[in-house]
Amino acid sequence: MNGIDSIAEAREIVGEEALLPEEELQPLKKDYYYLFQIIGCSLVTKSGEKIGKVEDILSINNNDLLVVSKESREIFVPFTKGICIQVNLGKKEIVIDPPEGLLDLNEI
């Protein structure tokens, strides 16, 4: 479908997914990412310890939390510059410097 020219045509696609080739997405400012770029990234500490994989992102009061699968549980890691110190989309990897105890928490 090339375009939607009427309310009737719009009603036909309500609830459908809209897909766009990645190369047609608008470039984002530095340190901004599309959700699909972050989901699936591996999380590692700055010392190289593998933590897990980003399964989802929760937005709570304008704060983003990475939902990370770690072994048989989920952990929540704030997606902030102070904790997520490097995002490497080419390697699908996020390097973190978590405060003590953060990786032991599993509640919001």
- Global confidence as pTM: 0.79
Consecutive H or E run containing 7: helix 7-12
- As to burial, measured by CB atoms within 10 angstroms (0-12 exposed, 13-18 middle, 19+ buried), residue 94 is buried
CATH class as words, domain 24-104: mainly beta
Q: Which range is most confident: 39-43, 57-61, 66-70, 104-108?
A: 39-43
- Whether the pLDDT of residue 87 is over 90: the answer is yes
- pLDDT score at 70: 86
Class of residue 65 by CB neighbours under 10 A (exposed 0-12, middle 13-18, buried 19+): middle
The whole-number pLDDT of residue 14 equals 92
Question: What is the distance between the alpha carbons of residues 67 and 44, in angstroms, rounded to a whole number?
Answer: 14
Percent of residues, the chain, with pLDDT higher than 90: 63
Mean pLDDT value across the chain: 90
What is the spatial distance between Cα 7 and Cα 30, in angstroms, rounded to a whole number? 38
